Structure 1
């Protein structure tokens, strides 16, 4: 099993010193990846419900630093050597897919092929309104965005004809190191599971009990088979509640053996650049060394 550090680009880790500290600490502690979050803007007083906390509000409030994930990961890439660079997630349907394809491929090349490109539909309606992007239809927009990016990454002179995007013989270089970038579909809904099955190289439900994860993974696998794809080739990532169970080794092995989970991500464990290294090192010794 592999392990990642989530929420890595927030708060104190938004600074150059903080970014380098958490990334290097994660690499040294045995984590395989580091994962960012994204909001271009957070409108003050938003009414949309944040889905990952019982309060319905984002941790830290509207004024927490959240650097652009791709720029932040480019900085981290220069301070690490093996650490995978994960976006968890980029709200890709808020962006121009041609510009995004260029940004993603550039980061992948500069990092030596280390990018894991997590995408999702987004939940903050007020952010979409501020950006002038329709909130309705965002799932369809994300599907097409993924297809556009893959066309630009894989074709020397790319052509695409979709409902929202159309171009012919467009050249976009550099190309990703492996010819493409792994697309990890984030989300804990049935629609996200189906999208992962149809289009994803990975699936990352941000929350859910083991029973709910089993259901989501089943939906994903059925969708993959319907699309003529191999569901076993889709990498599964989950949140890290099991890592903090009374017996974390047993809980993590259950995720791996019974549900087929490949990676678990946890929060930074310390929101201080000076303390995050020892905290992640302890987790590496106590958990990763016994499970990975």
Structure 2
């Protein structure tokens, strides 16, 4: 079982290079497989409460005067440079807000520099105000995301690339920086809805639901398999990652819950900062991860 870690974002220390390097060194020594980063370009002061992973529709702990959320690819480049085996993943890049060509180039650069360690998690986001501030239409963002995935893969392949979509078009262009891996960068689809699962079946190398019950995960896996078969893909090749504790620390230490995820085919568990404490103290975070490894991972 692979174990990933999503650090305590929204805290000022997340942009301390010294702290990030210490965190990466500790996680690598602890046997953690991957480190993940989230993205919001902006958070509106008075956003509509549509955040899907809390009861009140608000982001826990933010925004506030000390909220810090750095760009995930730049932040992960520091993690990669401070480690030799840690995989680095986005959870998620709101790819439908980005230029497909620029995102493809940035991701390929990080993958090349890290020796093929990037896992590119992509999703739609939920904050209409963020789309409006960036200048990208909120409407039809699902179609835009699908095209972004297809266009990036075209640009990562060898030879001149062409793509013709509703939102993205280019003809016989070359992107001079390629990912380290010949097959391109693994793309993981974030989200917990049927739409996200079906997108993973059509386009994804992985599926990463953030807060989901075993029953709902079973339904989403069925959606993935249906969509994959319809697209002529092998459903078994789509990796399932889960966030076992969501925002409730007591759930993260529920062995039977995690066993249920594993029985459904999950191959990666990603702990969030809430599950191992939101402290900036590296030893405190290490102790939380060690407890999880001893009480959960070792008993699966």
User: Shared fold (TM-score greater than 0.5)?
Assistant: yes
Judge which range, 177-186 or 244-253, deviates more.
244-253
Pick one of 64, 69, 74 that aligns with 2:77.
Answer: 74
Matching residue within 262, 279, 297 for 1:288: 297
Matched, 1:119 2:122: yes
Q: Distance in 1 between matches of 2:252 and 2:220?
A: 25
Distance 1:254 1:213 in 2: 10
1:136 has 2:145 as partner: no
After the TM superposition, which parts of structure 1 deviate over 6 Å for at least 4 consecutive aligned residues?
none
Give the number of the structure with larger relative contact order, counting CA–CA contacts within 8 Å between residues 6 or more apart: 1
TM-score normalised to structure 1 length = 0.94
Q: TM-score, normalised by structure 2?
A: 0.91
Partner of 1:17: 18
**Contact residue 236 and residue 260 of structure 1 kept, 8 A:** yes
Q: Which residue of 2 aligns with 1:6?
A: 6
What is the total number of aligned residue pairs between the two structures? 290
Q: State the alpha-carbon separation in 2 of the partners of residues 246 and 192 from structure 1.
A: 23
Structure 1: gaps of 5 or more residues: none
Give me the whole-angstrom Cα distance separating, in 1, the residues matched to 2:106 and 2:119.
13
Q: CA RMSD in A?
A: 1.8
Distance 1:6 1:273 in 2: 15
Partner of 1:273: 281
Deviation for aligned residue 1:173:
2.1
Q: Post-superposition shift, 1:283?
A: 2.6
Q: Deviations over 1:40-94 (max 9, x none)?
A: 0011011141111112111221131000000000001011111110100000110
Provide the C-alpha distance between the structure 1 equivalents of 2:154 and 2:10, rounded to a whole number of angstroms.
32
Equivalence for 1:51 = 52
Shift of 1:244: 4.8
